[in-house]
């Protein structure tokens, strides 16, 4: 197996695990982590595509690498904002779930039986 095949399989695995986690888990923080896994796999694919162009004898092109780095910075900033929103909702609501079937605690309700 060449390094290109291994990197492609890792990227596909990251995207697959991310999609699985995004679909399966109703908690917003887990969805955010799964979305970041998808993004990591996509960034890896973009890096592989940029590297293949320069490995094929073409002159070095920094534009795809700059786009990947910019995407990573934007994804980091968006993740930080999403975490801040999730924490704020948790403090206001007492819990954050996206599944409407789960029961919600009210302010006067006790969890003890």
Q: Is the pLDDT of residue 48 over 50?
A: yes
Identify the residue whose tokens are 């920094």: 62
User: How sure is the predictor about 27, in pLDDT bands with cuts at 50, 70 and 90?
Assistant: confident
For the chain, domains (ranges, CATH) are: 3-93 (1.10.287.3510)
Q: For residue 63, what pLDDT is reported?
A: 80
**SS3 per-residue string spanning the chain:** CCHHHHHHHHHHHHHHHHHHHHHHCCCHHHHHHHHHHHHHHHHHHHHHHHHHHHHCCCCCCCHHHHHHHHHHHHHHHHHHHHHHHHHHHHHHHCCCCCCCCCCCCCCCCCCCC
Length of the chain (residues) = 113
pLDDT 10s digits, 49-108: 877 666 656 666 678 888 889 999 999 999 999 999 989 988 888 777 776 676 665 555
Q: Is the pTM of the predicted complex or chain greater than 0.95?
A: no
Quote the pLDDT of residue 113. 45
Q: How far apart are the first and last CA of the chain?
A: 58
* Distance from C-alpha of 101 to C-alpha of 80, rounded to nearest angstrom: 28
DSSP state, residue 56: T
User: Given the structure tokens 């819990």, which residue do they identify?
Assistant: 95
Q: What is residue 96's predicted lDDT score, i.e. its pLDDT?
A: 78
């Amino acid at each position: 197996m060449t390094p290109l095949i291994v990197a492609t399989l890792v990227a596909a695995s990251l995207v697959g695990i991310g999609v699985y986690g995004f679909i399966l888990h109703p908690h917003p923080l887990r969805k955010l982590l799964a979305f970041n896994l998808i993004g990591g796999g996509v960034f890896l694919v973009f890096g592989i595509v940029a590297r293949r162009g320069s490995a094929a004898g073409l002159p070095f092109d920094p534009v795809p690498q700059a786009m990947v780095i910019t995407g990573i910075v934007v994804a980091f900033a968006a993740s930080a904002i999403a975490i801040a929103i999730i924490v704020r909702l948790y403090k206001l609501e007492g819990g954050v779930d996206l599944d409407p079937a789960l029961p919600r605690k009210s302010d006067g309700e006790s969890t003890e039986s």
